[in-house]
Amino acid sequence: MLDGRPPEPAVDILLVKLVLTPALIGTASLAGRRWGAAVSGWLVGIPFTSAPIALFLALGQGPAFAATAAAGTMAGTISQAAFCVAYARIGVRFGSAVGVGAGAAAFALSTAVLQRVTLPLFPLVVLVMIALCAALRLMPPPEGEPRAAAQILPAWDIPARMVVATVFVLLLTGIAPALGPRLSGLLAPFPLYAIVLTVFAHRLEGPAPALEVLRGLLLGLFAFAGFFLVLALLIERAGIAAAFAAGAVVIAAIQAGSLWALRRPRAPATTKC
């Protein structure tokens, strides 16, 4: 308590990490099975993993650290867009394993560049929007209509997703003080959940549903970026609770629009901004 703040309630925060993260991931997985591949990708736009990480950073490291990390996480949206394009352009042709490797390499390269470039918040927002629109234009055109969600996924699929997401949250929040707020934020949006969704769709249903997952993810990332913009702007000024509440409102509003864009009938061409 040397800095005047009460000690961090470590046990309570650990319980939140262990309960909240798998519950959110499990719920999203079930919803994705019900409504199809594109919707499952769109659901990743809701920051099921990154929002808990931001909350734990705010509780454990303070609002100033969390605000810087939120700006980094928003910048990390660019890296997620790079992952989507790399997987779509390479994985569809050479298989899911190569696609994941190419996507991870694109994410890592983008993260390395972003770690060395510091932009004010609002120019950064513009850059994120440009990157998402460019990624949507670079996606290969859909091959026919999206299929219904497959009913042949193994029983261990959803538990595995929950475990992976929870381990990632525990790992990143544990090493965040050593990484610093900006790099912590840039790494927070690494698309583990999207990788699982895309690979399973690709292997069990073919490349077209995998592309639908990635396209849905790109549309969902507009809300993802909006949420972390709100956190970066408000968490120090208005407090943790108010910033997260405002971010939730922004997610709901943007996701409603992106869901409309996702579900409307379209010609067999790439989605445009």
Q: pLDDT digits over 13-66, tens only?
A: 566 667 777 777 777 777 767 777 777 788 777 787 778 778 888 888 889 988
pLDDT of residue 69: 85
Q: What percentage of the chain carries pLDDT values higher than 70?
A: 80
- Tokens read off for 7: 């000690």
Nearest to 53 by CA among 192, 193, 221, 165: 165
Q: Which long-range contacts (CB under 8 A, 24 or more apart) does 102-105 make?
A: 103/191, 103/195
Burial class (CB in 10 A: 0-12, 13-18, 19+), 241: exposed
Residue that has been written with the tokens 């996480």 in this structure:
73
Task: Yes or no: say if 202 and 212 are a contact pair by the CB < 8 Å rule.
Answer: no
Q: Over the Cα atoms of the chain, what is R_g? A: 18
Q: Which of 16-20, 120-124, 198-202, 210-214 shows the lowest per-residue confidence on average (mean pLDDT)?
A: 16-20
Determine contact, residues 200/151, Cβ cutoff 8 Å. Answer: no
Q: Which residue has the higher pLDDT, 206 or 106?
A: 106
Residue 72, SS3?
Answer: helix
As a whole number of angstroms, the distance between CA 92 and CA 269 comes to 16
Which tokens belong to 112?
A: 């390395």
Confidence of residue 6 (pLDDT cuts 50, 70, 90): very low
Span 231-246, average pLDDT: 91
3-state secondary structure at position 131? helix
Q: Where are the alpha helices (DSSP H) in 117-239?
A: 121-138, 157-179, 181-187, 192-205, 207-238
Tokens of 251: 């997610």
Largest CA distance in the chain: 62
Q: Residue 267: its pLDDT value, please?
A: 52
Alpha helix segments (H runs only) across 1-120: 10-35, 37-43, 50-61, 63-86, 92-94, 96-116
Question: pTM for the complete prediction?
Answer: 0.78
* Tokens linked to 35: 């409504």
Mean pLDDT, range 236-241, rounded to an integer: 89
More confident residue, 220 or 157: 220
